[in-house]
Amino acid sequence: MRYQSNRPKRQFLAGVACPKCKKMDAVVQIQVFEPAFDEWIECTACDHSERRPTMDETAIMRQTDGYGDGGVGVVKFK
């Protein structure tokens, strides 16, 4: 079922450490559906944020990281 609200969807990510301050259980994943879908993470402790790569950026990362065979790779936040 699709998320039915116009407000951003926020989910805490359990067991995830912030890439900047390394604090555990402080990272929130945020999804926006309107006007266009977007997704990023934010740290509630240090306000660090990172945008999730698009499918095109992921394909480029796979090619440069040796995943050019179309296999499954890990999505990395930059």
Q: What is the CA radius of gyration of the chain?
A: 14
User: Is 36 within a domain?
Assistant: yes
pTM over cut 0.75: no
Min mean pLDDT across 3-7, 32-36, 66-70 is at: 66-70
Contact 71, 59 (CB under 8 A): no
When divided into structural domains, the chain yields a total of: 1
Q: What residues form DSSP beta bridges with 49? A: 42
CATH code assigned at 33:
2.20.25
Task: Quote the domain boundaries for residue 28.
Answer: 9-64
Residue 70 lies in a domain: no
With respect to residue 37, please indicate whether it lies within any of the assigned structural domains. yes
pLDDT at 70 over 80: no
Concatenating the DSSP letter of every residue in 17-28 gives B-TTT--BT-EE
Q: In which band, very low, low, confident or very high, does the pLDDT at 43 lie, cut at 50, 70 and 90?
A: very high
Whether 2 is in a domain gets the answer no
Q: How confident is the model at residue 28 (pLDDT cuts 50, 70, 90)?
A: very high
